Amino acid sequence: MTSEIHLSNWATVTTELQKFGASGKVTTGDDHIRVAFGGAYFEVKKEGVVRTGMPLHEFEHDGESTLIVEHENGSITVKNDSIKYTFRRP
């Protein structure tokens, strides 16, 4: 199942990331959610910051974007008019 979510829809962002991170460690707060898989992580803050990290690279975007969560493929794509970045669950 693929879900396309705008970051302003915070309830859906947290629900989808909790599902995505079921095999890892999910940490939530009032204004953020972080999903960790060993040394890799995907984090979203309610104000629109997306951060990811893996042993060899990091990604950060602050601003309008959409998350495309593909549970079967184990990926999340951060997308807007100027960027497209895909995080793959290890």
Q: Give strand ranges (E) for 13-89.
A: 25-28, 32-37, 40-45, 49-54, 57-62, 66-70, 75-79, 84-88
Condensed to tens digits (0 to 9), the pLDDT of residues 19-33 reads 999 999 999 999 999
Phi, psi of 53 (to 5 degrees): -155, 145
The rounded distance, in Å, linking the Cα atoms of 23 and 18 is: 10
Q: How far apart are CA 82 and CA 29, in angstroms?
A: 29
Q: Which of 36, 55, 52, 44 is nearest to 13 (CA)?
A: 44
Q: Model confidence at 7, in pLDDT bands (50, 70, 90)?
A: very high
pTM greater than 0.85 (yes/no): yes
Name the phi and psi angles at 50, rounded to 5.
Answer: -120, 130
With CA atoms as reference, report the closest residue to 65 among 77, 52, 53. 77
**Where in the sequence is the domain holding 34, given as residue range(s)?**
2-88
Report the run of H or E that residue 42 belongs to, with start and end: strand 40-45
% of the chain exceeding 90 in pLDDT:
97
Please, what is the average pLDDT of the chain?
Answer: 96
For the residues 64-79, what does the mean pLDDT come to? 96
* Structural domains counted in the chain: 1
